[in-house]
Amino acid sequence: MPSAVTDVVGQLFLIVLLVAVGVFVIVVLIRAIRIIPQAYAGVVERLGRYHKTLTPGLNILVPFIDRVRPLVDMREQVVSFPPQPVITEDNLVVSIDTVVYFQVTDARAATYEIASYLGAVEQLTTTTLRNVVGGMNLEEALTSREEVNSKLRIVLDEATGKWGIRVSRVELKAIDPPLSIQDSMEKQMRAERDRRAAILTAEGTKQSAILEAEGRRQASILKAEGDAKAAVLRAEGEAQAITTVFDAIHRGDPDPKLLAYQYLQTLPEIAQGDANKLWIVPSELTEALKGVSSAFGAGRTAPPSGGPAAPRD
């Protein structure tokens, strides 16, 4: 009986030992294999000292000897820092909000050269911003953002290079001057807008007046040209009419009696006007009238052919 108990205990011990060995092997395998995801890097310490940097993929470690530090993100990161008060050269306090774009290029340096690179970048950005903006007045700070961004990036990139960090961009999100200055700037901008509006209105009125005057001038020129052409056409028509009448008269070769008769028929038409007080009788007409009267007188006094002569007084 005691031997049977001893056999059972030995079997149980063997089973426990096998289970323990299996668990140990599994743990060893788990600690010996490490998979690093893409865009990350792992720093390996062997017996407390830096050994190597793990790259993305499957990596083999020495169990219980190698230790992997927290993974380092190798992607470009964007960090927005809270607004910082900065004193300008003209002793005005402005609040500046910044954004920094940086990327870890060396996981070992980012792990061992600085305790917290995020906090270090924030503090370095704040101090550098105060140094750069502190040498400018408010107007320069508001209008020279590109210059401030460039200076900040150069200084930060040089300072963070030994930490295994590369600063690619630095942007000023907002520059907020004091409320009193903002009110003054708003009034100035409103006055500038009013001035520009007044100038534009005056320019519009001026252009309108110029266009109206030009239109009137063109209309006067066109009217004068039209009157001149009309007068020329009327004169040409009258000249042609006179020429036609003159040619017709000369072709008909009228005698003075016919001219006198035509003039006598025209006299009633001349007398129809109220303003016609003076008549001008040409000398040729008087001669023609004399001829007509003598012709009529001769007709009355001349005897008929073969008859007796008229008695004399």
At 215-253, the pLDDT tens digits run 888 888 988 888 888 888 888 887 887 777 667 766 766
Q: 3-state secondary structure string, 117-149? A: HHHHHHHHHHHHHHHHHHCCCHHHHHHCHHHHH
Q: Report pLDDT for 310.
A: 42
Mean of all residue pLDDT scores within the chain: 80
CA separation for the pair 140, 98 (Å, rounded): 17
As a residue count, the chain comes to 313
Contact, 163 vs 117, CB < 8 A?
Answer: yes
Coil, helix or strand at residue 8: helix
To the nearest 10°, report the CA torsion of 152, 153, 155, 158: 170
Measured from the Cβ of residue 142, the count of other Cβ atoms closer than 10 Å reads: 14
Segment 103-118 mean pLDDT = 92
- Reported confidence tier of residue 267, pLDDT bands at 50, 70, 90: low
Whether the Cβ atoms of residue 111 and residue 49 lie closer than 8 Å to each other: no
Kindly state the average pLDDT of the residues 120-144.
87
Which residue carries 């999100």 as its tokens?
Answer: 173
* Ordered domains of the chain (ranges, CATH): 31-72 (no CATH), 75-177 (3.30.479.30)
- Largest Cα span, the chain: 219
> How many alpha carbons lie under 13 Å from residue 114 in its C-beta half-sphere?
20
Mean pLDDT value across residues 50-61: 92
Which residue, chain included where needed, has tokens 């534009």?
A: 200
What Cα–Cα distance (Å) separates residue 304 from each residue in 135, 147, 291, 294, 308? 141, 134, 21, 17, 8
Question: To the nearest whole percent, how much of the chain has pLDDT over 70?
Answer: 75
The per-residue pLDDT for 303 is 44
